């Protein structure tokens, strides 16, 4: 069971806006930055968004994040077929002295 | 460009040991924290361990504490993971990941580059 809670799946049609939630506690999301990673089948994860909506080079601004208290969410607008992947949230946990991940959300573009 | 190349994976019997290596290039290895993250077949990501830029600070996930040891050789630009007393549940792809900060732990922990992974299978 993951420390951060994500829905196992999400879906949308091309052009739609989809959000993926990530719920934690005061020792992780509530007190630290949340990061999001994207993983395609058979590939290594890659950093998608960091800190306050910062995106690595090459990540489109269709991806954005928000955070409120002990929860965070990833929003993907203008959904495209190439967005179909697994998405993970992560944060440092002060109580565990370690990084914790969400269980991952499999995004399907219908 | 940043490259992280893991090696040392394979099939090992329960209770035995294995050492993974991660060769780094394309950045100043000695100034960044480094991590190991694993992914069991069909499962999600699990953080394993972190080591600070100079090796002075290390943290481990609860499931590997006391069995795994993370280390680094900055002169060789290489990260290591010594895995002892392996269990079936340690079977996973092990990724080496670079942190965006020198410490590698705390609020700023961020895996900005990942290797391609090394498969470790623990089976009799």
Interchain contact, A101 vs B61, CB within 8 Å: no
For residue B50, give the chain A residue with the closest CA. A98
Distance from C-alpha of A61 to C-alpha of A77, rounded to nearest angstrom: 9
- Whether B35 and chain A come into contact, CB under 8 Å, resolves to yes
Decide if pLDDT at B100 tops 80: yes
Q: Please report residues of B whose CB lies closer than 8 A to that of A89.
A: none
Which of A31, A86, A92 is closest, CB to CB, to B109? A92
Query: pLDDT tens, A17-75?
Result: 999 999 999 999 999 999 999 999 999 999 999 987 899 999 999 999 999 999 999 99
CA B56, A95, B80, A87 dihedral sign is negative
Query: pLDDT tens, B44-65?
Result: 999 999 999 999 999 999 999 9
Query: pLDDT tens, A61-101?
Result: 999 999 999 999 999 999 999 999 999 999 999 999 999 99
């Amino acid at each position: 069971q993951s420390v951060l809670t994500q829905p196992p799946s999400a879906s949308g049609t091309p052009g739609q806006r989809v959000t993926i939630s990530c719920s934690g506690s005061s020792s992780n999301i509530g007190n630290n930055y949340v990061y999001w990673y994207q993983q395609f089948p058979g590939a290594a994860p890659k950093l998608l968004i960091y800190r306050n909506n910062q995106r690595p080079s090459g990540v489109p601004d269709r991806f954005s994040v928000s955070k409120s208290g002990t929860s965070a969410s990833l929003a993907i607008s203008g959904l495209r077929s190439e967005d179909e992947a697994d998405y993970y949230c992560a944060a440092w946990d002060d109580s565990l002295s370690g990084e914790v991940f969400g269980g991952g959300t499999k995004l399907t573009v219908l | 460009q940043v490259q992280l190349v893991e090696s040392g994976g394979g099939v090992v019997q329960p209770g035995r040991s294995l050492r993974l290596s991660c060769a780094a290039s394309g950045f100043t290895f000695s100034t960044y924290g480094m991590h190991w993250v694993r992914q069991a077949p069909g499962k999600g990501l699990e953080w394993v361990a972190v080591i600070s830029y100079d090796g002075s600070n290390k943290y481990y996930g609860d499931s590997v504490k006391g069995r795994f040891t993370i280390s680094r050789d900055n002169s060789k630009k290489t990260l290591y993971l010594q895995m002892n007393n392996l269990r079936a549940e340690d079977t996973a792809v092990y990724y080496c990941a670079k942190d965006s900060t020198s410490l590698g732990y705390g609020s700023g922990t961020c895996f900005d580059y990942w290797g391609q992974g090394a498969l470790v299978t623990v089976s009799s």
